[in-house]
Amino acid sequence: MDRIKHLLLENRAWAQSKLDIDPGFFAKMAKDQNPEFLFIGCSDSRVPPTEMLNLDPGQMFIHRNIANLVVHTDMNFLSVLQYAVNNLKVPHVIVCGHYNCGGVKAALSTHSLGMLNNWVRNIKDVYFFNKLEVDSQQSEMDRVNKLVELNVIEQVKNLMHTSIVQKAWHERRMPYIHGWVYDINNGLIKTLLTVDPDTKLDSAYRYDFND
Active site residues: 42, 44, 46, 98, 101
Q: Helix/strand/coil (H, E, C) string of the chain?
A: CHHHHHHHHHHHHHHHHHHHHCCCHHHHHHHCCCCCEEEEEECCCCCCHHHHCCCCCCCEEEEEECCCCCCCCCHHHHHHHHHHHHHCCCCEEEEEEECCCHHHHHHHCCCCCCCHHHHHHHHHHHHHHCHHHHHCCCCHHHHHHHHHHHHHHHHHHHHHCCHHHHHHHHHHCCCEEEEEEEECCCCEEEEEEEECCCCCCCCCCCCCCCC
